[in-house]
Structure 1
Amino acid sequence: MRVVLATHNPHKVAEFQQIVAMTRPDLEVVGYDGPEPVEDGVTFAENALIKARAAARYTGLAAFADDSGICVDVLGGAPGIFSAYWAGQKKDAAANLELLLDQLADIADPHRTAQFVSTIALVTPGGEEHTVAGVWPGRLARTRAGENGFGYDPIFIPDGQPAGAERTAAEFSGEEKQSQSHRARAFQAFIPLLKTL
């Protein structure tokens, strides 16, 4: 069975294909090639639903969409839904990361707490709508490290690692990230919905 992931981001498609393959190998996740809707929601859930609705209408398939970002506690939860555009409308991941590091330059380590948040929305061709969320807590490093990731992964240090051996999300193996990330956590809550397809 085919389901469409409402994103033009090939990194997200690959990540979701790996996650789905571990839990529902009978589902084929395909990328979305239709028009990009305006994401004018004010929450991750609203924006995920906007994308999933557009993909379901355009393709006639069940569609799911992820809206995710990094929420920094000392910034009141920002960048949040603006994570992809933090440094401007160009969606420049390197510039976004550098701006965030610059904004936190004088913040002491105990106050650099943050979390990745992912909300997944499912919209069926019949109009059913569901959302689930996953949170990956951690803190922000002062410098980037690692090549196995994108976005803010090179500065995000997930909680729960042994002291003295902490790594950024970009230093995790693909398998580690797929089992622990905010998307993986949201997807665990999403599995029961997939079983209804």
Structure 2
Amino acid sequence: MNSKLLLAAIVGGFFLLSGKKSSGKSTVTDTTGDVTDSEDTETETEDVPAKETPTYKTLTSSRKKIVNSYINMSPMKTNEPLPFGDYIMWASDKQKLGIPPLYQDWLANQIYWQISKVEGKTDLYSDIMGVNPTGFDGTLPYVLQQGKKALIDPETKGLQIVDITESKEQSNKRLGKGIALWTDINKFVKANYKGCNQGAYCG
């Protein structure tokens, strides 16, 4: 064979081999950032579902500070009118009604009422006609029940629950924001409160 033809055949073979596709072995980056070899790039990996983080849409950062302060204090009594501000008295009333007197529920009540007052949203000081004093808009009702309203005497500070007439639609509109906030507070407390007060039913 002519030496020129032999040289051309060798050079041509080199280019053919160098242009050949790889065997399927490829380089990928793992989760640690190190470079590793993967034998089969076609293999599908199972997706590991991410752990869901609870969301509390109504709890702003300022509200969470109030929630956490109550969780840290774990009070048995607050400044709320009796029997609402005393856990033992409140629990006794709940037991008479056959309702489990969970400390976490009571604590959620105290936090909800504190937030509603700090933000000027409580209706506690309003009269039965729904007129709120200056600085209180009544958007977070003290009692979250249809047809019920809490009234307080500005002189004696005594509290009474009175019946009011309202439709289901009116009730939903009046109580909606309060129920949403209380629900988030209650979920947050149950997820983060790890203690149990002496004498308290924490089931």
Structure with higher Rg: it is 2
TM-score (norm. length: structure 2): 0.25
